[in-house]
Amino acid sequence: MKRLFILGAGSMAESFIKGIVEEGVIDPRDIFVCNRSRRERLLELSEWYGITPADSMARAADTDLVILAVKPYDMMEALKQLRPYLSNQVLLSFAAGIPIDAIRRATGGHPYVIRTMPNVPVAVMQGAIALSAPPTVPRDKLRRVVEMLAGLGQVVEIEEGLMDAATAFSGSGPGFISYLLEAMEQAAVELGFAPELARRLLVQTVIGTAHVLREWDLSPSELRRRVTSPNGTTHAGVEVMQSRGVYEAIVEAVRRAAVRAEEMGREYTREG
């Protein structure tokens, strides 16, 4: 990929830019970024990462890859504006819920549309990136995109039918995990810790747990069993969570997020 155009300069776009600039596979000046109205945001990103602010979508015309990083409810309108400048570029959508078919319809049948669900840790090259591409995307184009994304984390190719599920536990995952940590931090503070000190231990606990799960190739339930001795502290805590239905609540939260992704797809791609 030589030149990128990013549509929408929000938080996901910034995470992506940060990772891709650090990866060093593309000159930041060849990353063109546009917003709907907030010009100051583009200047900020230009100052921080060296990208080139773009005043209009016309800048997309001579790029190889266009990243669709607007909110799902802005997608159809943004694609209408982008359509005149499309030729051979690959479109890479980050948007929750929006089906590939809807993007193709809104762009007059553009064949090269790839749908991804990245998450915020792409900013530090630790992203989880689910990706789905239809057969209309030639394998060499797909390979180049996958290679670029692989520098930002773990890429997993899935069928598009699983994309809303990936959105729920992987796209929204950092939010859910942070929510658990909020509660753990509150408890730590109530038990006498300063928040910053508690946070240092908590963040390392998450990082360490993730590493152990991966390096020892354990399932979460196996690791939980290993660290839970009968009548010990973990056991006492897990018992409280079980009696309060925390497990079921988490299952329901992920299910609800998946349903919401699907609803957004329907709501925001309705024609006419």
- Closest approach of ligand NAP to the CB of residue 239, in Å: 33
Q: Any binding-site annotation on 11?
A: yes
Choose between 42 and 142: whose C-beta lies nearer to ligand NAP: 42
For residues 172 and 96, give the distance between their C-alpha atoms in angstroms, rounded to a whole number.
10
C-beta of residue 6 within 8 angstroms of C-beta of residue 28: no
Report the C-alpha dihedral over residues 70, 76, 146, 177, rounded to 10 degrees. Answer: 50
Choose between 69 and 198: whose C-beta lies nearer to ligand NAP: 69
- Closest approach of ligand NAP to the CB of residue 219, in Å: 25
- Closest approach of ligand NAP to the CB of residue 81, in Å: 6
- Closest approach of ligand NAP to the CB of residue 74, in Å: 4
For residues 13 and 159, give the distance between their C-alpha atoms in angstroms, rounded to a whole number.
24
Q: Any binding-site annotation on 71?
A: yes
Q: Any binding-site annotation on 76?
A: no
Tokens encoding 24 = 């060093």
- DSSP alpha helices (H): ranges in the chain? 11-23, 39-49, 75-82, 100-106, 139-150, 163-166, 173-190, 195-215, 220-227, 233-243, 246-269
Closest CA to 45 of 94, 6, 91, 90: 6
C-beta of residue 112 within 8 angstroms of C-beta of residue 141: yes
Choose between 71 and 223: whose C-beta lies nearer to ligand NAP: 71
- Closest approach of ligand NAP to the CB of residue 241, in Å: 26
Residues in the chain, total: 272
Choose between 114 and 117: whose C-beta lies nearer to ligand NAP: 117
The contact set with ligand NAP (CB under 6 A) reads 7-13, 34-38, 69-72, 74, 77-78, 81, 94-96, 117-120, 171
Choose between 75 and 198: whose C-beta lies nearer to ligand NAP: 75
* Sequence ranges of the binding site for NADP(+): 7-12, 69-72
Binding positions are 7-12, 69-72
